[in-house]
Amino acid sequence: MKIEKNKSLKNNNTFGIDVSARKYVEIYDEDELKQLLSLSELKDEAKLVLGGGSNILFTHDYNGIVIKNSIPGIKIIFEDEKLCLVKAGAGVIWNDLVLFAVEKNLGGIENLISIPGTVGAAPVQNIGAYGEELQNTFHSLKGIYIETGKESVFEKEECKFGYRESIFKEELKEKFIITSVILELYKNSQPVFNYGTIKNELEKLPSVNYSIKDVSDIIAKIRNDKLPDPTAIGNAGSFFKNPEIDKDQFLELKKEHPEIPCFTSPHNKVKIPAGWLVEKCGWKGKRIKNVGVHEKQALVLVNYGYATGEDILSLAQEIKISVIKKFGIELTEEVNIY
């Protein structure tokens, strides 16, 4: 285990923000992680676990140790005629796990294809796309408490999954490191494709018996066409969450903006696409020096070159203010800000 000093994190975050970590270490297995956490010289050091850095905005150098989780391995640990339990190391690239499942015709995560990042970060915000969320196939996960080095297993109910939320993004933020995740994937499952854009594309196919691979191929293509590639333009996907508002507030808004899109949400709430709100405030495609709002997706803030985290944050702040002024809705960040 090699602890580096003053390590640049520019290539460790998809915004491409040029900050550094006072200390940096990459770990490849649980024992190594336990050993690291037991080092007395690191006892009082702030610790940040990092996967692919695709949901992070660094606003300053990290004054502590960054622990890059690279624990590998994908394995089927149980199988019967209906399902498979698949265990993956937290450092596995999420998309590699999706491709593994699709190749074996195991259903459940095909809609989550092309989401950047690692398996270990997937439960943190209960990743979701195209009508599916991680929690729908989640079985359990294992990890280690940073303070005590103690191992623990979390079953689904204990993870407090919500819309882009979990216990690991709230109470256990910076307290617990996920080391492996087990998913429950299904043989002969029917893909979920009632999400508008996928359905339209699938209907162009000759057969109506859509396979898991048909659905994942189409989603990968749509995403590829619509979203900026972080290796070309720095970004962290959607910067804000879609707000969920009360029905009464929605009905009032609809009087003033009859075209407002909406989707039903649990607990009698209404989900409004944040991208629509941002676009209606005139931000889509706007560029201010080194930062901007992507031209095809108003929820994605981009770094055109040498932006700092503060530059991105102040653009986000301006956007939030304009959305409050126009719609009375407060956007909240999906990206983790450090």
- Asked if 292 and 304 touch (Cβ cutoff 8 Å), the reply is yes
Q: Which is nearer to ligand FAD, 175 or 257 (CB)?
A: 175
Out of ligand FAD, ligand NAP, none, which partner does residue 101 contact, by CB within 5 to 8 A per kind? none
Q: What are phi and psi of 79, to 5 degrees?
A: -150, 135
Residue 161's binding partner out of ligand NAP, ligand FAD, none, with CB under 5 to 8 Å set by partner kind:
none
Q: How many CB atoms lie within 10 A of CB 260?
A: 17
- Single-letter residue type at 57: L
Are 159 and 168 within 8 A, CB to CB? yes
Residue from the set 162, 273, 286, 288 that interacts with ligand NAP by CB under 6 A? 273
Please tell me whether residue 13 binds ligand NAP under the rule CB under 6 A.
Answer: no
| x/- map, 98-137, ligand NAP, by CB under 6 A | ------------------------------xxxx------
Q: Which does 263 bind (CB under 5 to 8 A by kind): ligand NAP, ligand FAD, none?
A: ligand NAP
Region 186-215 residues binding ligand NAP, contact defined as CB under 6 A: 195-197
Residue 124 binding result from ligand FAD, ligand NAP, none, given CB thresholds of 5 to 8 Å by partner type: ligand FAD
Q: Please name the residue ranges forming H helices in 236-308.
A: 247-256, 274-280
- The C-alpha atoms of residue 328 and residue 317 are separated, in whole angstroms, by 15
Residues 74-103 that bind ligand FAD (CB under 6 A): 90
Q: CA 71, CA 49: separation in Å to the nearest integer?
A: 12
Q: Are strands 62-69 and 20-27 parallel, antiparallel or unpaired?
A: parallel
CA atoms within 13 A on the CB side of 218: 21
How far is Cα 122 from Cα 302, in angstroms, rounded to an integer?
Answer: 22
Which residues form the catalytic set? 164, 238, 334
Choose the one of ligand FAD, ligand NAP, none that binds residue 297, judging by a C-beta under 5 to 8 angstroms depending on kind.
ligand NAP
- String marking each residue 318-337 x if it binds ligand NAP according to CB under 6 A: ----------------x---
177-197 b/e with 16+ CB inside 10 Å = b?
Answer: bbbbbbbbbbeebebbbebee
Name the residue nearer to ligand NAP (CB basis): 138 or 193. Answer: 193
Q: Which residues inside 45-64 make contact with ligand FAD, applying CB under 6 A?
A: 48-56
Binding partner of residue 273 among ligand FAD, ligand NAP, none, CB cut-off 5 to 8 Å per kind: ligand NAP
Q: Does 297 bind ligand NAP (CB under 6 A)?
A: yes
Write the DSSP string, 147-194: TT--EEEEEGGGG--BTTB-TTTTTTTTTEEEEEEEEEEETTPPPP--
Contacting range for ligand FAD; rule: CB under 6 A; set: 34-42, 44-52, 267-275, 323-331: 44-52
Q: Does 137 bind ligand FAD (CB under 6 A)?
A: no
Phi, psi of 12 (to 5 degrees): -110, 10
The pairing of beta strand 4-8 with beta strand 20-27:
antiparallel
Binding site for ligand NAP (CB under 6 A): 128-131, 195-197, 226-227, 237-238, 242, 263, 273, 275, 297, 334
Binding site for ligand FAD (CB under 6 A): 14, 48-56, 69, 90, 115-118, 120-122, 124-125, 127-129, 168, 177-178, 227, 230, 235-237, 336
